[in-house]
């Protein structure tokens, strides 16, 4: 019996819990429900229903005027009119730019060329130059300005002197020296070029030396055509040659040059040389170099044989302290070929030599 009473009591408690949860005080959540104000009682009219005014039949019912400041319910507020201000006067009105020449009659008007054309199947017009300043100042006035611009920024004159080789050569008991350089003065198209190269031995003096004066003309972005004279100071007897050749930058960054020499005695010689700068780092550069000389006939007076007369191969490693000053070390192999070697042996000289070189490459 007690068990039944306990089960009945538990069931009543479980049924009462949801009802109690619904009537929980919301103040626990920090919310306060405002009290509902009491409805005001409408005052009763003392005159009663008879006090109401009646409207005669057929008369219009008066409608109260709408308040313009407050729109009817459900409509938006009309935009407020902005105050109108008088436009400010242009301070430059009536002014004219002084000394502004009229456009040239042969200058097309703006918007009359390019893509500003009527639709159709007519052929395309010729492309016009982008000289828009002509429309204001005139073509004759701008032509003088463009000539001055080219002189100052595109047609100037420059100069450079470079010694690719200036070295001390350590040989087997016969140390020597060698130089190879050139200088030029002029512009991008026309230049005067002076070249010089030679070699010698300590205690023996200069064995061979030459100088060239050439007119150089650009025939492309990378090559120059050169013509002029060459004079051999040594060996004796000296020779003077008419010279024509080329110099430039071949594909893959090879510096190359070649020339033909015709002497005042009718001797025809030729030379081809080139080198390549292989950068190992930004300052360390390895330069292989080659030079080959040829002769069309034997010239016993100068010890030159026909055909390939001599070859020079070199390998030099330089360090660019600056771009303009780079000391180097390397090795050079020189060899006389054919009859040129025979003439050297008759004169008591060797036909070839290998040298350890120390020098500097510089330009300014």
> What pLDDT, in 10s, does the model give residues 16-29?
554 444 444 444 44
Q: Is the pLDDT of residue 47 over 50?
A: no
Contact 361, 164 (CB under 8 A): yes
Q: What is the pLDDT of residues 235-253, one digit of tens each?
A: 888 899 999 999 999 999 9
Q: Is the pLDDT of residue 322 over 90?
A: yes
Three-class secondary structure of residue 300 per DSSP: helix
Element (H, E) at 332: strand 325-336
What is the average per-residue pLDDT within 32-45?
51
Q: Is the pLDDT of residue 206 over 60?
A: yes
Q: Which ranges of the chain does DSSP label H, i.e. alpha helix?
A: 2-22, 134-137, 139-153, 339-346
Percent of the chain scored above 70 by pLDDT? 67
Three-class secondary structure of residue 258 per DSSP: strand
d(CA 216, CA 221): 13
Q: Could you tell me the CA-to-CA distances from 287 to 193, 275, 356 in Å, in that order?
A: 23, 7, 15
74: buried, middle or exposed (CB in 10 Å: 19+, 13-18, 0-12)?
exposed
Q: How many CA within 13 A on the CB side of residue 135?
A: 10
What is the average per-residue pLDDT within 274-291?
97
Domain range 218-363, CATH class? mainly beta
What is the average per-residue pLDDT within 6-23?
53
Higher-pLDDT residue of 111, 260: 260
Q: What is the pLDDT of residues 91-134, one digit of tens each?
A: 555 554 555 455 555 555 555 555 666 787 888 777 777 788 88
d(CA 216, CA 247): 9
Residues near 321 by beta carbon (within 8 Å), at least 6 away in sequence = 283, 327
Bond into 237 cis (ω within 30):
yes
What is the average per-residue pLDDT within 254-272?
96
In this prediction, residue 164 carries a pLDDT of: 94
Q: Is the pLDDT of residue 226 over 70?
A: yes
CB atoms within 10 A of CB 135: 15
Confidence label for 310 from pLDDT (cuts 50, 70 and 90): very high
Of 347, 318, 348, whose CA–CA distance to 330 is shortest? 318
The number of residues in the chain equals 364
Of 177, 173, 143, whose CA–CA distance to 163 is shortest? 177
Instruction: Quote the distance between the C-alpha of residue 248 and its chain's center.
Output: 23
d(CA 211, CA 196): 4
Three-class secondary structure of residue 180 per DSSP: strand
Q: How many CA within 13 A on the CB side of residue 363?
A: 14
d(CA 321, CA 102): 58
b/e per residue 40-72 (b: at least 16 CB within 10 A):
eeeeeeeeeeeeeeeeeeeeeeeeeeeeeeeee
d(CA 184, CA 160): 6
Higher-pLDDT residue of 330, 123: 330
Structure tokens at 357: 């070189």
Higher-pLDDT residue of 176, 150: 176
Q: What is the pLDDT of residues 48-84, one digit of tens each?
A: 444 444 444 444 455 455 454 455 555 555 555 555 5
What is the average per-residue pLDDT within 176-190?
94
Structure tokens at 20: 């109690």
What is the average per-residue pLDDT within 147-155?
79
In this prediction, residue 29 carries a pLDDT of: 46
In this prediction, residue 52 carries a pLDDT of: 45
In this prediction, residue 271 carries a pLDDT of: 98
Q: What is the mean pLDDT of the chain?
A: 79
Q: What is the pLDDT of residues 152-180, one digit of tens each?
A: 777 778 899 999 999 999 988 789 999 99
């Amino acid at each position: 019996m007690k068990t039944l009473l306990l089960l009945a009591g538990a069931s009543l408690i479980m049924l009462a819990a949801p009802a109690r949860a619904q009537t929980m005080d919301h103040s626990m959540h920090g919310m306060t429900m405002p009290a509902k104000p009491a409805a005001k009682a409408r005052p009763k009219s003392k005159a009663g229903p008879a006090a109401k005014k009646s409207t005669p039949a057929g008369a219009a019912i008066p409608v109260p005027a709408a308040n313009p400041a407050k729109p009817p319910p459900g409509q938006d507020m009309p935009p407020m009119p902005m105050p109108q201000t008088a436009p400010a006067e242009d301070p430059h009105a009536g002014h004219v730019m002084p000394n502004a020449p009229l456009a040239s009659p042969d200058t097309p008007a703006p918007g009359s060329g390019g893509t500003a054309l009527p639709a159709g199947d007519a052929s395309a017009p010729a492309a016009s130059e982008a000289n828009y300043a002509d429309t204001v100042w005139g073509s004759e006035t701008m032509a003088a300005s463009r000539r001055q611009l080219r002189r100052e920024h595109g047609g100037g004159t420059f100069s450079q002197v470079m010694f690719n080789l200036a070295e001390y050569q350590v040989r087997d008991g016969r140390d020597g020296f060698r130089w190879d350089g050139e200088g030029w003065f002029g512009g991008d198209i026309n230049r005067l070029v002076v070249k010089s190269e030679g070699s010698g031995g300590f205690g023996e003096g200069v064995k061979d030396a030459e100088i060239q004066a050439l007119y150089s003309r650009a025939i492309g972005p990378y090559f120059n055509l050169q013509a002029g004279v060459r004079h051999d100071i040594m060996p004796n007897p000296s020779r003077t040659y008419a010279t024509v050749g080329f110099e430039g930058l071949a594909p893959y960054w090879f510096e190359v040059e070649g020339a033909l020499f015709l002497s005042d005695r009718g001797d025809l010689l030729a030379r081809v040389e080139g080198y390549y700068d292989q950068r190992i780092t930004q300052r360390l550069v390895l330069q292989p170099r080659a030079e080959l000389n040829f002769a069309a006939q034997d010239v016993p007076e100068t010890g030159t044989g026909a055909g390939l007369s001599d070859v020079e191969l070199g390998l030099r490693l330089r360090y660019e302290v600056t771009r303009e000053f780079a000391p180097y070390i390397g090795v050079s192999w020189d060899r006389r070929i054919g009859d040129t070697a025979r003439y050297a042996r008759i004169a008591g000289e060797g036909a070839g030599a290998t040298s350890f070189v120390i020098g500097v490459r510089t330009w300014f």
